[in-house]
Structure formats: structure tokens, C-alpha cells
Structure 1
């Protein structure tokens, strides 16, 4: 027998899976960690503990529980949250916590500075993306300006997956999909680092070499083998960001197909025949040469449901989410006229407003906890519908939506997303997530399967159909107006100009 191993580092949890040549799951393991919020607008992980430490933990657990011999594992693939910014020294040691993806909004001033210096049109033409909180380039400039002593020691800037790849192989490698999020440092037209645009931010020799996700980055070193239990010389793929691996895991493979990931954030990836470039969305080359991805992401989704549970249902213990879901299901659609803006960490696509704030609007004395929780779920669903609206405007309406992630277990959330967004959602048989996609990509990398064989590994199990609801037809336009009519107040409250 031969096996592939996939490990994914998420915002709050690391998951690993070991599968056989048919895609059957042999073993699973996970480990929780925390997102650090040192101050408002910041979001961080400890790279050595939360990324590498978790990888070691789940890998050793998989080998122990499966009784698979390390030599039987033919390839390893990793994915992780991203894009992140992690400066390391000449020995590869992290110089600070890893700065997370778009939920970290510390570089707002640098976004404005670089957009003005380079020009918004040039950035869009060369990088395929406007500069937003998702962009790593402004965060590197923040490092240079605000932490010059760390910047001076920086030999390489990594994201989470390249850090794991380095720990396993000793090589600094990054996939093109991740690199496209390093705007304005990456040129999507030449598929290379843009030395001229990077001037004044960082020298491109301090960025990893570029490769495709299913290329082999290197092989497990003796040092990494001693830590993980893996065999020395095991091939390690270049890997990618978690959302991309998650899309692969549920069968996204052809233009027009879209992955909707219900995780700590809603993240959307749609494959397109040609590049779709619009400042409201993100663009990247896909995991294989010649393919393209249009992407979107909300800032707080699962994170917001966790916040609600911790603030209003802490006393319910481990069963809190189940009880909250039941209470939300008992509340009528529209939550008795209650609107929720889910912008509790600003917002990413399509409004790209770091100064946006969360709000409940329409409260009265008849509202109960279940109404508020339904409003939270419908607020997130409205944010998702807003993205779908932009997709249609750009002529990129999806032909199929594949849903994945922990939120797919919440029937109210799923149905509200279909109803407000007007889209059916297919749910695959296995909803493990990115780690399963990693295991499949590892198999692709060593020639055990072809990319389109994911449908055999993970067929569709059910479909959530949209229902036309008069209450949503009335409330969704009001939800959009609520943000527009309170935006100036929100910015003044937060000091955003």
C-alpha cells in the first residue's frame, strides 16, 4: 500500500489526514491553537508553536494511530492560512509572530502610501489586485517603517506554508497562488517577483523562489524526520494557501466552479477561463499553469459565531453551538426585522473597508438570543450574497457552488446563504477540508492520480436549494443601505479617515 499525508494550519486549528491510494481516510488528527490579537486590528500566530509545533503534533499522531510505516508515505503536502507575513533571520528563525491575512489591518497607512506612489492603475495592471488588507507588500513596508530593527535582521519573508516547507526540506519555496497575494511584489503577467515595484519595500532576493503547488519543493531532512517521524527523503510538495486546498478537496476543477468555504471567514474561490480583474475582488493564477482564480473573502464569519457564543452562551459549555443553532432555527426568517452588519474586524471583499464596524440594527424588546444569532448568520449570508452580486456584474456567475467547512453543519446558515444569494450549494461526501485537498495534491504531485479524479475521491452527497423569500427580498437591500448610511459614523468612531 501507498499513502499520502496532508496537513493544514487553520486560524484556530490544525488538521491532518492520512489517505490511501483510493482517497479512503486511514487516520485523522487535529490540534487547536489561538489567534493572538495584541491590539485592535492586529491578528497573529506564533510560527514555531502554532505552525510547526502543530504540524509535528498531528503528523506523529497520524503515524501512531494508523500504524502506517513512514516509508509507505509517498508524499506530503501542506497548506496554511494565508497570505501571512513572517520575517525570518539567516538561520530561518522567526523574528516575530506571523502577521495573518486580511483580518490583520495594521498596514492601512502603507496601503494608501503604496497606492499613491505606484498608482492604482499600475498595480491593477501588473499585480491583478488592488492593495487591501489581504496584500502582504504593505505589511512588509509596515515592518520596515515600524520595526526597523527586525527588518534589518530579515533574511527572508515567508508565508505560513513556505515556513512549513522550509522546516521540512530546508528550501525556501512559494507557490504562485500565494505569491499573487504579495502585491505589489508579484507580477501576474510574468509570473515572477516584480523587482521594480518592490523597490523601497524589500529586495526580491529576500522572497522565496516560485513554483507550482504540485511541484516537489524538496525532501524531508534528517532533522525534520527526527521531529515528525516521517521518513528521510519523503517528497514534500510546494503546497498552497488553505482555501485553495479546500477548493480542491470538494471537487473544484473546471472554469465556472466555485468553492464557498464556511470557516473562521467565508472564503470564495471561483475558477475562470480568463483572468477576472476588478478592485472589489482578488485574482491569482491557480494551482496549475494556465488556470485562473477569482477570489473573495469576508473578514469575520466563523470567528463572529465564536464571539457570539463566548459572549452570550458561555454558560452552555460544549453544546453551545447546537443550542444556538436550534434557537436560531426557531426564530423566523429575517429575525423579526433585525439586521446584523458582520464587520467585526472591518471587511474585506467587496467593500475593502478596514474601518467598517459590526452592528445590530432594529432591536426591540421582543428580540431574544436566538433572533440575534439568526441575524448574525443572515448578516454573514448577506455579505456572501454581496460577493455573488459582484460576480454576476463581472460576468462570472458560478455554474456550480461547492460548500465546505464547519459552517455547512449549520442548516440555518446554509439555507440563508442559498436563499439570499440565490444559489444552490452542493456539499461533498467528505467535508474534512483543506488537509484532504492536500493529501490529494500530494498524490497528484507524485503521479498517483490526475487532477480531475477528485470527483472519484469525494463525490457530492447533498444539495441545498435556494428558496425565494419575500422577507429577504425586502431586507437584503436595507442591509446594504445600512452600511452605506452608517459608514461615515463608523469611520469617525474608529478614527479612519
Structure 2
């Protein structure tokens, strides 16, 4: 039997899964690592932590499954978008990686907007300039750390640093490259026009390939460090949201992926590139050749609930430890006692600013309508509802772009909560589906490896064979009507508060 290895380099840790060619997960490992926040709005990580976590994860799954390394047909990579890994000529890391959620690059966004018109950026990259794109981080280093920039020879995205350690090659894929703001997204290649206008050196760009292409093979050194067979192929892979979509069978128009992880994402594959002229969504290359996707991202989805847990749920944490239960299950159970609408309590989930559709790093979270009748359970439910309201904001923009939506597939940690899925169905008035794949982006990376290594002919073939629907959640009619009124009120709040957010940040 042949096996595939899927590796997802995430924000909080790296997941490694070992999957049979028939799609069964035989072993899974997760190795966490820290975030660094040296200043307000700065978020960084040490790329060596990703590599150490990858090595540990590989050792664990291989040990747990008792599989011989020669049985691994291919390796797929996935990872967090937008991070800037800067390397010198010897491929040594020059500084900690500036992550996707870092918000220090406001001035660089203004610089890009002066050098390149919004219309030209949309035409070439499918997106307007915003603080999270990789090029903004590179430009920040150029201006603020010139001694580092002088040594810059190459840059990579997070998963591609792990690829470098595995294969020795400087390669990325079209999905991750789309998140740099340096890719000609319609043509699926680097844009010399953008590179020149931003006065960057084209030689810092890694080779860019389609997600199913082989990007290299395990080197002798990597074989010694990981135990993997020398010469095992490594495919290009994909950014985490593209890989997550693949891993849940979201591969055609009409099917929407909704990820409720630390961040929240709505993701729609499209046969033609579709971008919003107002830049309220991202338009990237998809992991299937000649396919694109439109994506809306909110900064704090599950992150909002995690903040609430860490700040106000000491009792639940202790109870979960005593009962050996998931603390989030205990938290969400409280919200089940509260009616839809949380009795007029609305939560704005802007704890880390907001990305889509507002692109406002200064936005902040709010409980709107809090009064004496509200208890902890109301606050919990309002968080669940506020996150879904925020996701619906992006869905509404997709509808404006005439992107068809026939079903929503829920993924991420939030998809394990029945109440959260019911709220998603009610707020969007859509059928919400859960599939048999629970390993997310790492599983999607393994699927891409199965195609690149020749076990399957196409992503469509393997997804149709391996992905199955296991649960369907339908909207409750009375809740749909109630939530419509609350959503319209929610949607009106950000425009009223935008200037006040900016004023607050300047104090």
C-alpha cells in the first residue's frame, strides 16, 4: 500500500498527517510553537520552530503507524499565507518571519498606492494593497531594517521554508504567491511590472509552480534528519485555505467553504477570476490548474471565543480539566440556553482589527446592547452570532459578484459545535454540510501529493472518491427571520463607528 504525507505549517503549530492512498488517516500529530509580539501590532515567528515541529511530527506519525518510509509515495505542503521569510545567499534566516496577522505596514500600503494605481493592482493581482500582503512586509524591512535588507537574497512563504529544509529548493506555489501582491493572478506568474514599480529585485522571487507539480525531492541531509526516504517527491502544495478547501471537497463553483478556526474564512472556487472593484474580498489562484478562488477573511473568529475563554472562563477551564472534557464544549453549551439574537446583544468581532470586507486594522471589538438582564451565556451566544454575521458580510459581497452558492461546507474547530453550525445555517439561510475529512489543510496537502505523485489523475478524481458528506444542517425558519433583522443592525454598526475606531487608536 502507498501512503501520502501532508504537512500544514500553521500559526499555532504544525500538523502532520499520514494518509493511505484510499484516503484513510492512519496517524496524525500536532506540534505547537510560540508567537512573538515584540511591539504593539507586531506578530512574528522563528522559522526554525516550524522545521523542528515538522521533524517531530514526522517522527511521531511514522512511529505511531509503523509504516516503512519507502511506502510514502509523496509529500504535500500547506501553510499560513502572507508571512515573509527573508534569507541571505546561504539560505540563512535574516530575521524572524513577519506573520499574516502583523499590522505594522500601514505606511507601506500608502507607498504602494502611490506607486501603482488601485485599478492597475486589481487588474494584475486581483487585489488592492493591504497590510497583510507579503510585499508590504518586505518593503517595511527595506525601510526600517536596511542592514537586514542589504543581505536579502531570497524570500519564501512559511510552508516553503519547510520545503527548503526538505528539498533544498526555493519554490512556492500559485496560491501562496497570490498572497504576496507580486503575482499576476490571471496569468499565474510573477509580475515583472509590479516588481519593477516597487523597486524590488526580481531575483529574490522563488520559483512559482502549480500546486500539484513536483517541487523537489527529499535530500540526503533531510533524509538523515527525518528518516524519510532520499528522493521522495515533494509537491508544491498550497496556502492553508486552498488546501483546506481541497481537503473538504470544495472544488467547484456553487460549493462554499466556511472555516471557523482562529480566523474565519469563506472560500468560493471560480472557473474565471472574479475580483471586487472595491477590494472587499481576496481573489487568488486556486490549487487546481486554470481555477481561481474568491475569499473573505475575518481576523478573529474562533479567536474571539478563545479570548473570552482565556479572559472570563476560569471556572469552565477548571471544570473541563476535572471532567476531562473540551472546555469549548462547556462554554458553548451555556449559549444553547439563550434564544436567537441573544436578547438584543450584538458582538462586533474586531478584536484584531478586520480584514474583509472592511480592511481596517484599527477596528475593535464591541458588545452592543449590553444591559442588566444579560449574563455570561448571552455574551457567549452573541460571540457565536457576531462571528457568523461577520462571515455573512463576505458572503453578501460574493453574491454581488454573482458567485453561485448552493451549499456551505463547514470546517475548522467551530464546525465541531452543533450550535455554531445551526447559527451559520440560520444566518445565511443555507444548508450547511460537514464532511468526513477532519484534518483540514494537512489532508488537502496529502490529496495534492496523491495527484503530483501519480496515484490519481486529478484533484477532482481523488476528492470525488474520498470525500463524503456525513451531516447536513438546515436553517430553522423562525430563526432565519429573526436573524435577518439582527444582521441588518449589525451591518450598520461598522460604518457608524469607523471614524471613532480611528480616533481611539490615535489616543
Equivalent pair of 2:266/2:395 in contact (CA under 8 Å): no
Equivalent pair of 1:296/1:349 in contact (CA under 8 Å): yes
Aligned to 1:273: 271
**Are positions 1:413 and 2:424 aligned together?**
no
Quote the offset at 1:201 in angstroms: 4.4
**Are positions 1:127 and 2:136 aligned together?**
no
**Are positions 1:334 and 2:311 aligned together?**
no
Question: Which whole-Å CA distance do the structure 2 matches of 1:112 and 1:417 have between them?
Answer: 36
Aligned to 2:193: 196
DSSP 3-state at the match of 1:289: coil
Question: Which whole-Å CA distance do the structure 1 matches of 2:385 and 2:454 have between them?
Answer: 43
Return the match for 1:157 from 155, 158, 162.
Answer: 155
Question: Which whole-Å CA distance do the structure 2 matches of 1:204 and 1:68 have between them?
Answer: 42
Equivalent pair of 1:135/1:182 in contact (CA under 8 Å): yes
Equivalent pair of 1:7/1:17 in contact (CA under 8 Å): yes
Q: Please show how residues 238-249 of structure 1 align to structure 2 within 5 Å.
A: 238-249=236-247
Q: Please show how residues 466-485 of structure 1 align to structure 2 within 5 Å.
A: 466-468=475-477, 469=479, 470-485=481-496
Equivalent pair of 2:243/2:287 in contact (CA under 8 Å): no
Question: Which whole-Å CA distance do the structure 1 matches of 2:365 and 2:94 have between them?
Answer: 33
Q: Deviations along 1:118-157, whole A, 9 cap, x unmatched?
A: 1111111111111113311122111111111111111111
DSSP 3-state at the match of 1:4: strand
DSSP 3-state at the match of 2:178: helix
DSSP 3-state at the match of 2:373: coil
Question: Which whole-Å CA distance do the structure 1 matches of 2:342 and 2:83 have between them?
Answer: 36
Aligned to 2:369: 362
Question: Which whole-Å CA distance do the structure 1 matches of 2:335 and 2:218 have between them?
Answer: 48
Note the aligned Cα RMSD (angstroms).
1.4
Q: Deviations along 1:369-388, whole A, 9 cap, x unmatched?
A: 11111111111000011111
Aligned to 2:437: 430
Question: Which whole-Å CA distance do the structure 1 matches of 2:308 and 2:37 have between them?
Answer: 17
DSSP 3-state at the match of 2:405: coil
Aligned to 2:58: 59
**Are positions 1:24 and 2:32 aligned together?**
no
Aligned to 2:34: 34
**Are positions 1:320 and 2:331 aligned together?**
no
Question: Which whole-Å CA distance do the structure 2 matches of 1:252 and 1:98 have between them?
Answer: 30
Q: Deviations along 1:228-274, whole A, 9 cap, x unmatched?
A: 11111110111111111110011112222221111111122211121
Give the direction of change, closer, same or farther, for the CA distance of 1:244–1:474 in structure 2 (3 Å limit).
same
Question: Which whole-Å CA distance do the structure 1 matches of 2:412 and 2:464 have between them?
Answer: 18
Equivalent pair of 1:133/1:348 in contact (CA under 8 Å): no
Equivalent pair of 1:314/1:320 in contact (CA under 8 Å): no
Quote the offset at 1:288 in angstroms: 2.6
Q: TM-score of the superposition, structure 2-length normalised?
A: 0.94
Q: Deviations along 1:35-87, whole A, 9 cap, x unmatched?
A: 333333222222101x1111111001011111101111110111111121111
| Structure 1: gaps (5+ residues) | none
- How many residue pairs were aligned? 493
Aligned to 1:186: 183
Aligned to 2:140: 142
**Are positions 1:459 and 2:468 aligned together?**
yes
Aligned to 1:7: 7
Return the match for 2:379 from 356, 363, 372.
Answer: 372
**Are positions 1:346 and 2:344 aligned together?**
no
DSSP 3-state at the match of 2:336: helix
Q: Please show how residues 385-396 of structure 1 align to structure 2 within 5 Å.
A: 385-396=392-403
Quote the offset at 1:320 in angstroms: 2.6
Aligned to 2:260: 262
Equivalent pair of 2:432/2:473 in contact (CA under 8 Å): yes
Equivalent pair of 1:384/1:421 in contact (CA under 8 Å): no
Equivalent pair of 1:137/1:201 in contact (CA under 8 Å): no
Q: Deviations along 1:314-345, whole A, 9 cap, x unmatched?
A: 34324431211111111221111111110111
DSSP 3-state at the match of 1:182: coil
Question: Which whole-Å CA distance do the structure 2 matches of 1:13 and 1:268 have between them?
Answer: 22
| Structure 2: gaps (5+ residues) | 321-325
**Are positions 1:167 and 2:171 aligned together?**
no
Equivalent pair of 1:221/1:233 in contact (CA under 8 Å): yes
Equivalent pair of 2:284/2:294 in contact (CA under 8 Å): yes
DSSP 3-state at the match of 2:160: helix
Question: Which whole-Å CA distance do the structure 1 matches of 2:388 and 2:99 have between them?
Answer: 24
Give the direction of change, closer, same or farther, for the CA distance of 1:114–1:367 in structure 2 (3 Å limit).
same
Q: TM-score of the superposition, structure 1-length normalised?
A: 0.96
Aligned to 2:220: 222
Equivalent pair of 2:41/2:102 in contact (CA under 8 Å): yes
Question: Which whole-Å CA distance do the structure 1 matches of 2:484 and 2:20 have between them?
Answer: 47
Question: Which whole-Å CA distance do the structure 2 matches of 1:208 and 1:297 have between them?
Answer: 26
Aligned to 1:97: 96
Aligned to 2:323: none
Question: Which whole-Å CA distance do the structure 1 matches of 2:52 and 2:266 have between them?
Answer: 28
Quote the offset at 1:186 in angstroms: 1.6
Q: Deviations along 1:435-458, whole A, 9 cap, x unmatched?
A: 111111111111112312213212
Quote the offset at 1:182 in angstroms: 1.1
